[in-house]
Structure 1
Amino acid sequence: MDTLNAEQRSLNMAKIHSKDTKPEVFLRSALHKAGFRFRKNDKRYLGTPDIFLPHYNAVIFIHGCFWHGHKNCRLFRLPKTNVEFWKNKIERNIARDRKVISAYLDNCYRVAVVWECSITGKQKEQKLSKVTEEISLWLEEDLTENYREF
């Protein structure tokens, strides 16, 4: 059962934006400190990637676990109200994600997906540092892996 009434829930959902979310800002800041230069939320590119690294021919998407249906994640759970709507919405998001990622891979781009749960939580600083280091290695050294999830 929802603890908020319909009006309160609507206000909460309206506050959620598609860009410049906290996980995006945290990761962009960490990558910038690590020396990476990039474009953010550039609408010229398919799917408006959260981070586009032209030097590495790579894109990074930062996915919210709820909105993108992160399987087996503590942050993803279908709401108990209006279940059919949410199920369809999240399934459409997942299908769109697959289509966009496939298009980038088909065009010889490297694609990374960073899940919200991997850079937030109680040990946020350590998680963020670890993911930043892994992305750095992936971009600089692991040139054989075109798709990676963090």
Structure 2
Amino acid sequence: MVDSLTREQRHKVMSHIHSKDTKPEMLVRRMLFAEGYRYRLHAADLPGTPDLVFRRRRVAVFVNGCFWHSHSCPNGTHKPATNAEFWEAKRNRTVERDGQALTELANRGWTAVTVWECELRSLNAVADSLHRALGPPRL
């Protein structure tokens, strides 16, 4: 149980959480690749460093964890009991940064698609929304 961890143990657990190549991201990548889509990963030259980038189509895909990006689902609205002020500020900064990145991408003429971790329970719905944004895969 997380509440029974010492400060050092919690720090070690949290330090192993990475922002790239997460399970939800890998699921989306495998799905799109199997359907024939080809993409670039983690384009640092674009605002927000999108997880998947389709340059010719000018589409950027973000695969967001619900908790970290304060999604409106139960996982995203969960408020940690310990160090609550820190987490509130951190998650608010993330939401603000996400909004700025989406605005900047739109200003550059890009379409941004956000796939939420909780949406991956219905892969068909995620695939449909990505197909609408991407169009057919190239042969």
TM-score greater than 0.5 by the shorter chain: yes
**Superposed CA offset, 1:7-42 (max 9, x none):** 221111111001000000110110111111110112
Aligned length: 134
Rounded Cα–Cα distance in structure 1 between residues aligned with 2:33 and 2:50 = 16
Aligned partner of 1:107 in structure 2 is: 108
Structure with more helix by fraction: 2
Matched-pair contact (CA < 8 Å) for 2:113–2:133: no
What TM-score does the superposition give when structure 1 sets the normalisation length?
Answer: 0.83
Secondary structure of 1:60's partner?
Answer: strand
Aligned partner of 2:23 in structure 1 is: 22
**Superposed CA offset, 1:61-96 (max 9, x none):** 11110110112x121212100000000000000000
In the TM superposition, residue 111 of structure 1 has moved relative to its aligned partner by: 0.6
Aligned partner of 1:35 in structure 2 is: 36
Aligned partner of 1:74 in structure 2 is: 74
Rounded Cα–Cα distance in structure 1 between residues aligned with 2:133 and 2:101 = 20
* 4+ residue runs over 6 A deviation: none
The answer to whether the aligner puts 1:128 opposite 2:129 as a matched pair is: no
**Superposed CA offset, 1:100-148 (max 9, x none):** 00000111110101101111xxxx4xx123312321123218xxxxxxx
Residue 138 to residue 42, structure 1, CA distance change in 2 (3 Å): closer
In the TM superposition, residue 4 of structure 1 has moved relative to its aligned partner by: 2.1
Rounded Cα–Cα distance in structure 2 between residues aligned with 1:45 and 1:134 = 22
What TM-score does the superposition give when structure 2 sets the normalisation length?
Answer: 0.90
| Structure 1: tracts of 5 or more residues without a match | 142-150
Aligned partner of 1:13 in structure 2 is: 14
Secondary structure of 2:43's partner?
Answer: coil
| Structure 2: tracts of 5 or more residues without a match | none
Identity %: 37
